[in-house]
A and B are shown apart, each in its own frame.
Chain A
Amino acid sequence: MTAPALAVRHATKRFGAVMALDDVSFEARHGEVLAILGDNGAGKSTLIKCVSGVHRLDSGSIEVDGAEVTMTNPGVAREAGIETVYQDLALFDNLDAAANFYAGRELARPAWLPRGLRWVSRKDMARRSAEVLGRLQVRLPDPNATVGMMSGGQRQAIAVARSSAFASRVLIFDEPTAALGVRESRQVLDLILRVRAAGHAVVVISHAMDHVMEVADRAIVMRRGRKVGEEIPSADSRARLISLIVGGEG
């Protein structure tokens, strides 16, 4: 049995008096979509921020492909092959698509200089980001236009393409469909399935039950910082999932 792409064990995180995460454990496996469900304030976002290196766990461990990784900053998570598509997209409106792709991991030379003093290879970045966008069938009217000038759908596409291009193991979507219309949601869900088919582990945080039922192979439910249940989404388990989320009898 191969190690799970991502394993979180006994994760605990406290903000002052608030127990944001209380002994949470879960695994995300290659070629599988895991949904993390829960109401507002259930700890979903905190959990994901810990996995993507924005917050540090107070205790507990995170393993990537069986190897423990100490998430001290977002760069560590990215190097470990974990990419996150944030709800706010985390785009730089003042930069073009290629610069957005490579922000924080610019292609630059020479390697012996400190990172900040290297010369950026603008052509390489433009060419390679165009390749990725082409592969995902995203077409931009003007590749040199800043992302701020683009439509909501294009922006979403760039954010998703950026993360899926660099994720080698785990791709996390934070409320991917919350701000989208029906058609755009459909496209993002399709992409999630496509990333899964490529063998990545996909983690989707959402409270859109219908979307979860459609794409998730497994769902865990969080409430008040604790993991309160795990289900295979199906017509049968739907009611159970909902009652777990809202905290009724399950």
Chain B
Amino acid sequence: MQPPSISPSAEPAAMEAADAAEPSGVTAEVIDVPARRRRRPSRLHLVRGTLVLLRLGPGLILVGLVIALNFASDVFLTTENVGNVLAQTAVIAVLAIGQLLVILTRGIDLSVGSTLALASVVGAITFSSVGGNWLPILAMLGTGVAVGLVNGMGYVFGRLPHPFIITLAMLSVARGLALGLSDGQPKQGMPGAVQTIGGGSVGWLPNSTFLVAGVAIVALIVLGRLVWGRWIYAVGGNPDAARRAGIPHRAVLVSVYVFSGLLAGVAAIITSGRLDAGSPTFGDLAELDSIAAVVIGGASFLGGRGNVGNALVGALMIGVIRNGMNLLDVQAYLQLIVIGAVIVLAVESDVVRGRLEERFRVLQAAGQQ
């Protein structure tokens, strides 16, 4: 496959020599004159091409995986199975989008699985005591927001050294609250609207897929179009510079945990709707799935790098691997090992990417002198 960014800019060496001879008595270095493009070393193209491949990486691997599974299993690409994969992936995908915003700011949210459980229990209790459609939904979303607010405020104003700590504590506290409120038992019964969202489908397409798409569009708008998203990337890219640039960095940090909590509430609606219940055991280890999805999707733990599309691809990849291995009768322990390996591969490619960007810079600097 030809990397698209390799542009044919090889031009006569004489021109390069003429350019190089020009005195550069200007403010900054003249790197590239658009009208007369300089010939860059071909190694630069190679590095740049590899970089583009690495950025597309997760998507390419997913496509390859789907093609391979299509050959290996007759049922994999049937509409019924695809619907299955999408339904099973919906919760991971929603949580991963929240996790993405957090990880973009160099943070981590370990509490989303427990928050999902707590929200589902609160939703079930609200439904059994008050009823209605909207109140249980609002209760689940509100629970998520409240948990996120505690996470964010605790991290920022408690001046904790890393969000790992407050969200790890919340992982424990929220699960404990869920167990306490429910007496450790699943609580049957969810409003019709919740059941429709989590369990219904349009043809073979599960309704939850539309919800995931809606959440993804919102996240795309936030990150790509709103000032808020700009601030998220800025705070993740260089927290200190963001502060000095007058960006309200504390509010930005709190906001991503609130957003992540809200999406844990959305994930609770999907899970509770599918199973028509709220349960303190829901979302067990879901925080790790969501982190894995974001990391497989090429986001960097160092912050500021990652996008919604790739996080969704990461979530789908986890879903496809699990589903495909089930279809192929691969034993459960092997699935765990494979997903672990995929995580390491994904992060390794991020490391390689970082090295190549450094190399790209060096080659480019060399090319201009």
Q: Which residues of A contact B (CB under 8 A)?
A: 52, 54, 73-75, 78, 84, 86, 88, 90-95, 99, 103-106, 108, 115-120, 136-141, 148-154, 156-157, 160-161, 183-184, 187, 190-191, 194
- With contacts A90-B238, A103-B241, A120-B225 taken as known, whether A151 is within 8 angstroms of B230 at the C-beta atoms is no
Q: With A and B bound together, what is the CA distance between A183 and B29 in angstroms?
A: 9
| Contact A103:B234 (CB < 8 A) given known A119-B226, A149-B360 | yes
A137 and B27 contact, CB distance less than 8 A: yes
Contact of B28 with A118 in the complex, beta carbons under 8 Å = no
Residue of A nearest to B30 (CB): A139
Chain A min CB distance to B317 (Å): 23
Interface residues on B, range: 35 or more
Are A151 and B27 in contact, with the CB atoms below 8 A? no
Chain B residues proximal to chain A, CB less than 8 Å:
24-34, 225-228, 230-231, 233-234, 236-238, 240-248, 251-252, 255, 303-305, 357, 360-361, 364-365, 368
The reply to whether B243 and A93 form a contact with Cβ atoms under 8 Å apart is no
Q: Contact at B227–A136, with CB atoms within 8 Å?
A: no
Residues in B with CB closer than 8 Å to A141 are: 31-32, 364
Evaluate contact between A92 and B247: CB separation under 8 angstroms: no
Q: Contact at B29–A149, with CB atoms within 8 Å?
A: no
Q: Is there contact, CB below 8 Å, between A136 and B27?
A: yes
Tell me whether B304 and A93 are in contact (CB under 8 A). yes
Q: What is the CA–CA distance of A75 and B368 in the complex, to the nearest angstrom?
A: 37
Distance (whole angstroms) from the CB of A129 to the closest CB of chain B? 14
Most central of A86, A99, A136, A139 by chain B CB within 10 Å: A139
- 27 A-B residue pairs with CB within 8 Å: A74-B246, A78-B246, A86-B241, A90-B244, A90-B245, A92-B233, A92-B237, A92-B238, A92-B242, A94-B237, A103-B234, A104-B234, A105-B246, A116-B226, A116-B228, A136-B27, A136-B28, A139-B30, A140-B32, A141-B32, A149-B364, A150-B361, A152-B365, A153-B365, A160-B28, A161-B28, A183-B24
Q: A103–B242 contact, CB under 8 A?
A: yes
A117/B32 in contact, CB under 8 A: no
Q: In the docked arrangement, what's the CA distance between A103 and B247, Å?
A: 8
Q: Contact between A106 and B227 (Cβ–Cβ < 8 Å)?
A: yes
Known A73-B246, A95-B233; contact A149-B357, beta-carbon cutoff 8 A: yes
Check if B240 sits within 8 Å of A90, measured CB to CB.
yes
